[in-house]
Amino acid sequence: MATTDRQATTLALAHALSAAERGLAVIPLSRTKLPALRSPHRDETKISEASGAPEPAPGPPCHGECGRFGHGVYDAATDPARIREMFAAAPWATGYGIACGLPPHHLIGVDLDTKSGTDSSAALRELALRHLFTIPATVVVLTPSGGRHLWLSGPPDVVVPNSAGRLAPGIDIRGAGGYLVGPGSRTDHGVYATAPGTARLAPAACPPALLRLLLPPPRTPHHPTPTSTGDHGQGLVQFVLAAHEGQRNTRLFWAACRAYEDGIGPALVDPLVEAALNTGLTEREARATIASAARMTGHRP
């Protein structure tokens, strides 16, 4: 490895450890901005009895339960020892990613892109005027292409999904399950840097009006019978049961929102609470999260 690459890796690790001290969970990234560690399951295939060809092994996808590195954002950590282990396993890493949606900040990234030829900053200002919100002073990261990443903090019981161009052309959102390239990272196109005067700021709270725009649009309720939730209801319960630590509240909130939007919220409260209890949440936490979802979707808890 060239000396410059070693220096980039050392600097990336230092910046990642500094971010972790602020409660931001991180993973190592390559120069392409992708996770530096490949999946340990990429070669896990079985031979089809019907065709004799290799096909993916059965079972749900692993999100790090196997204990090995290589699960992308699911590897994100704030523990310095674990971060050093990840970088040691990826000595080619020249940057780091910051996982969004995780406590304590529940980070939401607003990516104002310039590559599409649109003025994303003007689009955001127009949205702010139309929906009566202002972007508070917060961390701003400058990208090598001339774009900006705005860091905002979301509520702990709200799941903000990732999206590209849905809010407006040139505006991408990094939410739960996504990550932002951290300042100090070096990529093939240059270095990410914190905008002057923002490095010491904490991620500001996302304005409620903007938060509503970031959530998925309500679905048309089909009003099934109160005692029948169908396959969709069972799917939402299974979605909550599959949550691991750090995702339990967000998965429960998302599932409850979908249930209320689809008209099965009241019938699914108890099954969702039971599923949440199985993941380790208390009944009080579970019912509070479901009640919050009901209010968010315009229903009475």
- What integer pLDDT is reported at residue 47 of this predicted model? 40
- What integer pLDDT is reported at residue 293 of this predicted model? 81
Instruction: Mean pLDDT check: name the lowest of 71-85, 177-191, 243-257.
Output: 243-257
Per the structure block, which two tokens stand in for 119?
């003025």
Instruction: Mean pLDDT check: name the lowest of 72-76, 100-104, 116-120, 203-207.
Output: 116-120
Measured between alpha carbons, how far is 281 from 277 in angstroms, rounded to an integer? Answer: 5
Measured between alpha carbons, how far is 269 from 25 in angstroms, rounded to an integer? Answer: 31
User: For residue range 184-213, what is the model confidence (pLDDT) as tens digits?
Assistant: 999 999 999 999 999 999 999 999 999 989
- The better pLDDT of the pair 253, 34 is held by 34
pLDDT band at 53 (very low <50, low <70, confident <90, very high): very low
pLDDT band at 4 (very low <50, low <70, confident <90, very high): low
Alpha helices for the chain (secondary structure H): 3-21, 80-89, 120-131, 208-214, 230-241, 248-261, 265-279, 283-296
Residues 6+ apart with CB under 8 A from 279: 240, 241, 243, 244, 248
pLDDT band at 273 (very low <50, low <70, confident <90, very high): very high
Percent of the chain with pLDDT over 90: 51
Rama region for 222: left / alpha / beta (φ>0; ψ in -120 to 50; rest):
alpha
- What integer pLDDT is reported at residue 57 of this predicted model? 52
Measured between alpha carbons, how far is 35 from 271 in angstroms, rounded to an integer? Answer: 36
Per the structure block, which two tokens stand in for 200?
């010491």
Measured between alpha carbons, how far is 95 from 126 in angstroms, rounded to an integer? Answer: 33
Mean pLDDT of the chain: 85
Is the pLDDT at 244 greater than 50, yes or no?
A: yes
